[in-house]
Structure 1
Amino acid sequence: MSGMRIAGLMVSATLAVLVGFATPAVAADAPTVKAGEAYVVDSAGTIHFGKRQTRRVPVASLVKVMTAYVVLREARLTDTVTVTEADVKDAVRGGATTAGLREGERLTVRDLLHGLLLPSGADAASALARRYGPGKAAFVAKMNRTARALGLADTRYTNADGMPTPGNGGYSTAADQVKLAQRALADSTFLAMVGTKTYKVGKTAVHRAHTWRNSNELLSRSSGVLGVKTGYTRAAGYCLLFAAERNGVQIVGALLHDGRDRRFTTAERLLDYAERQIASG
């Protein structure tokens, strides 16, 4: 092996130690990943897969993970929020996925967070951001302050729902999204919500009935899956932030700019691959 090659390997190993991660193991059975960006790490800090994980790109509705994270620190789950006409119209006008909310409905924060995280409701994002900014601009400022506090140096938010913002788009990286997911999953309320397959809100005098189904198909396709969030815009492609517990170890990954169905199949393979890597020591 040449001296230059040896020196390069020594530098890579040194950098891995400095950032606090073990170097990813290389195995012949590593899955093919066609996503534009990808990253998988376990709770021990071992990186199992990386592909352009520090490239800044739009992440679509994965933004709503930060929205939920901020709300859970600002609100009580029993707080009630009234849905406005703007909450509904802004989501529909932008072509975003909605939770089917109607103007005048009064729902608890617990309900709205499920509407945010399961069907990926931009209307729920609007209602929560407006209430807990207060105002959307103030809420986005909180999102960005939180990102800095969590060490997400390559993340910038411009709204609470992840929809494109003309001329002023937000961005993140696969590595930052995994780091955020790890922090969010430490919150038992968030963990329970993103692992819920179906959530029902019964009709009352102040709101209509809702049934929200989780868009994360991985919950029904692979063992030990904990969540976390799907996303899609034309600019971001199909995205998936995913997590599972295998043999007592939490594995968290992100796939950005992937295919609609392929992201779930790839995530399954990456989880199985990481599990084998962990088992092999």
Structure 2
Amino acid sequence: MTAKILTKRRTVATFAGGALLALSPLVTQTAVAAEPELTVAAKGAALLDGDSGKTLYGKDADTARPMASTTKIMTAYVVLDKGADLDLQVPVKQEYRDYVTEHSTSTADLQTGDKLTVRQLLYAALLPSGADAGFALADTFGTGDTIAARTESFVSQMNEKAEELGLPKTEFDSFDGTGSDSSTPTELAELARRAMENDTFRTVVATKQYEAEAPAANGRTRYYTWNNTNQLLGSYDGVIGIKTGSTTPAGECLVFAATRGDKTLVGTVLNSTDRYGDAAKLLDYGFGSDIAKNMKLRKLPANSQRD
């Protein structure tokens, strides 16, 4: 056999072997670079499609954890779902201020004897995370002959609403998150998704700063200014809300939502050491963007509440 013929046969054999390798599924899989895994600092996290509720990402997403002041999402939702008169004036009781002192909670600094509307109280509860405002709402919309009975009744309404929304692992024992209130990342994001369907709620949580006037006990006018503790708002493109929370048992928590074009995402991070960074990473993941690493947080005024 001539050298020329041998060379030709080797060439054909080599080509055939290369073709077999190219067709091999194993080789095809290893040739594709693996997509980097999303990592967040939070112990629990979830990201949902805002329209369908479909889960897009989860980390220990079905484990119930303390939820801190994100509890006030349900407080506001119960009030709004009742179709409450938003212009109804509610007198501020000394008990609301005493509660803040007793529990060392965040406050809207409501002054005893002032009369605030339900609308103003929603801003006061959701922006500076005022436990005094949450107390006022619970006392107003609960039923019973005493403050204790009314607030207990209101918390029962919160639990009934959780059951109605299909959130079996979500439980409340306070109106502001100072108790053993808990939820899973997925269920808390679903609660937020439903709350954001309400126009008033959506308007409130998208507000960075709110100024209010209220009749004071001395007949004059009291002026309030409340800053939104959610620093993701105004820091990450498209963010439209919604609520911070932090206690020692819960760690730092954040429920957030953002819209770009016709796509809305809603997410939760519970017990995080970097809640805003985590939220930005999750939103990048959902939107297919890459801006989290360059995000600069909106600074809060020096006198703002921290939650």
Q: Same fold (TM over 0.5)?
A: yes
Matched, 1:143 2:149: no
1:119 aligns with 2:119: no
Mean CA deviation greater in 114-123 or 41-50: 41-50
**Structure 1 residue 30: Cα displacement:** 4.2
Tell me if structure 1 keeps the 8 A contact 2:115–2:214: no
Structure 1 CA distance, aligned partners of 2:209 and 2:53?
32
| In 2: Cα distance, 1:199 partner to 1:29 partner | 41
Q: Which amino acid aligns with 1:190?
A: F
Matched with 2:191 is 180
Using the TM superposition, give the Cα deviation of residue 264 of structure 1 relative to its aligned residue in structure 2, in angstroms.
0.7
- 2:40 is aligned with 1:33: yes
Partner residue in 2 for 1:57: 65
Matched residue pairs, number? 245
The structural deviation recorded for 1:205 is 4.2
Q: Do the aligned residues in 2 keep the contact of 1:70 with 1:143 (CA within 8 Å)?
A: yes
Paired residues for 1:1-281 under 5 Å = 28-42=35-49, 43-74=51-82, 75-134=84-143, 135-164=150-179, 169-202=180-213, 204-206=215-217, 208-259=222-273, 262-276=274-288
Over aligned residues, Cα RMSD in angstroms?
1.4
Amino acid at match of 1:40: L
Q: Report percent identity of matched pairs.
A: 41
Amino acid aligned to 1:198: Q
Secondary structure of the equivalent of 1:125? helix
* Aligned-partner Cα distance in 2 for 1:127–1:45: 32
Q: Distance in 1 between matches of 2:234 and 2:181?
A: 31
Aligned equivalents of 1:141, 1:203: Cα separation in 2: 30
Shift of 1:63: 0.3
Moved more, 234-243 or 83-92: 83-92
Shift of 1:138: 0.5
Deviation (angstroms), 1:125: 0.4
Residues 114 and 215 of structure 2 are in contact (CA less than 8 Å); yes or no, is this contact kept in structure 1?
Answer: no
Partners of 1:203 and 1:184 in 2: how far apart?
A: 27
- Could you report, residue by residue, the CA deviation over 1:87-138 in whole angstroms, capped at 9, with x for unpaired residues? 1101221010000111111100010000000000000000110010031000
Query: What SS is found at the alignment partner of 1:81?
Result: strand
8 Å CA contact 2:211–2:225 kept in 1: the answer is yes
SS at match of 1:219: coil
Counterpart of 1:177, as a letter, is L
For residue 24 of structure 1, what is the aligned residue in structure 2?
Answer: none
Cα distance between partner residues in 2 of 1:133 and 1:188: 23
Deviates more, 1:236-245 or 1:207-216: 207-216
Q: Distance in 2 between matches of 1:119 and 1:28?
A: 39
Shift of 1:208: 1.9
Instruction: Provide closer, same or farther for how the CA distance between residues 77 and 208 of structure 1 changes in structure 2, counting only shifts above 3 A.
Output: same
Query: What code does the residue aligned with 2:276 have?
Result: F
Residue type at the aligned position of 2:271: H
Match for residue 11 of structure 1? none
- Structure 1: 4+ residue segments shifted above 6 A: none
